[in-house]
Amino acid sequence: MILRSVKFKPQPWQLIVAIAAFCGLSVGAFVWYHSTTLTPEALLKRMPASDSLVMWIDFASLRRTGFLQLLAGAKSAEDPEYQSFVYATRFDYMSDLDTALVAFSHSGGSYFMLSGRFDWKSLRNYVTREHGECVNSLCRVVGSAPDRHISFLPLRRDLMAMAVSTEPYAVNDLAIARPGPNPKMPEGLVWLRFPGWLPKYAASLPDGMRPFARIIENSPNVTVSFVPDRDRLVAKLEIQCRSALEAADLVTQFSSVTETARSLFAREHQTPNPADFSGIVTSGTFRSDGPQLEGAWPIDRAFVQNLLGTK
């Protein structure tokens, strides 16, 4: 028996269905891959952290607890340039931003991973009106100074990578994860992580905080997180020391500075005010757990209001 070869000729509608199915599967796989891999921990691994102040802000939780409303009267929210940006792009962090992961590099440049609700068409139109450009999904525009470039791109519909730098396309630095072990994501509505030497370069540091800055200047990694506690916040300090002996020594130094501050107020017959830094520097408690130092300072809502100038 001789089998004749039969040539299969697909019909046009079959090709259309096959292409549509392939595109659907590709898009679905892309969305699934990014939705499962772009976790906060994965985003943190993309940020420059070796010489940076890295900050996490959970705007959605701050909104639910009422603390975000304290920012409503802050200077940045009242700035005309900011209000113009909100109007042009239909984006306002007070209502549209859910989380922000930010790195302020000591060597220059600020990097952002922002999740929320974005009107991408309005953002692209804003870039065009400001004489910027968008190539595919990456957009860039000159900021408030000629050497200040803002570049951004969508990682998902609800996730934006953005950079402010002297480099026009600095956002590309956030495209891939950096080498090294997976970083641990601290807990808290807001947290900051930085090398211990960084605070001494701060342009302005409250006098009450300077002794603490001197204590931590040799620490490789410092984390300060802010967690809700009824109607106030608690600032929690974590320092991963090189040894248990070093952690115990830092506890002694922190406790000594705190006790000195309390003694000074008692000598002057004054009561520390929880609405300013005097209430913070006199209320700290510290302990060590092996090579890790842990500290805590209660923070009243009045202190946050005074700090932001919204009271």
The pLDDT value recorded for residue 159 is: 95
Q: Across the strands, what pairs with 150?
A: 141, 164
pLDDT of residue 131 exceeding 70: yes
Q: What is the CATH number of the domain that holds 80?
A: 3.40.1000
Per the domain annotation, does 239 fall within a domain? yes
The pLDDT value recorded for residue 14 is: 40
Give CA–CA dist 88/121, Å, rounded.
Answer: 11
The pLDDT value recorded for residue 272 is: 87
Per the domain annotation, does 152 fall within a domain? yes
Residues 148 and 199 in one domain: no
> Side chain identity at 167, as an amino acid letter?
E
The pLDDT value recorded for residue 310 is: 54
The answer to whether the predicted template modeling score (pTM) of the entire model surpasses 0.75 is yes
Q: What average pLDDT is seen over the chain? A: 80
Per the domain annotation, does 32 fall within a domain? no
162 lies in which domain range?
40-185
Residues 50 and 159 in one domain: yes
3-state SS of the chain? CCCCCCCCCCCHHHHHHHHHHHHHHHHHHHHHHHHHHCCHHHHHHHCCCCCEEEEEEEHHHHHHHCCHHHHCCCHHHHCHHHHHHHHHHCCCHHHHEEEEEEEEECCCCEEEEEEECCCHHHHHHHHHHCCCEEECCEEEEECCCCCCEEEEEEEECCEEEEEEECCCCHHHHHCCCCCCCCCCCCCCCEEEEECCCHHHHCCCCCHHHHHHHHHHCCCCCEEEEEEEECCEEEEEEEEECCCHHHHHHHHHHHHHHHHHHHHHHHHCCCCCCCCCHHHHHCCCEEEEECCEEEEEEEECHHHHHHHHCCC
Q: For residue 35, what pLDDT band results from cuts at 50, 70 and 90? A: very low
Across the range 185-207, mean pLDDT stands at 78
Per-residue pLDDT of 235-247, as tens digits, reads 999 998 989 999 9
pLDDT of residue 81 exceeding 70: no
Residues 95 and 148 in one domain: yes
pLDDT of residue 186 exceeding 70: yes
Q: Tally Cβ neighbours within 10 Å of residue 256.
A: 12
pLDDT of residue 175 exceeding 60: yes
Across the range 211-223, mean pLDDT stands at 85
- Higher pLDDT among residues 251 and 69, named by residue: 251
Cβ-contact 149, 167 below 8 angstroms: yes
Q: For residue 94, what pLDDT band results from cuts at 50, 70 and 90? A: confident
Per the domain annotation, does 299 fall within a domain? yes
Q: Which of 157, 185, 213 is the last residue of a domain?
A: 185
Q: Which of 151, 185, 219 is the last residue of a domain?
A: 185
The pLDDT value recorded for residue 19 is: 44
**Count of domains observed in the chain:** 2
Per the domain annotation, does 20 fall within a domain? no
Residues 53 and 146 in one domain: yes
The pLDDT value recorded for residue 270 is: 86
Per the domain annotation, does 25 fall within a domain? no
> Side chain identity at 8, as an amino acid letter?
F
The pLDDT value recorded for residue 255 is: 95
Closest CA to 169 of 144, 129, 137, 130: 137
Across the range 144-172, mean pLDDT stands at 89
Q: For residue 24, what pLDDT band results from cuts at 50, 70 and 90? A: very low
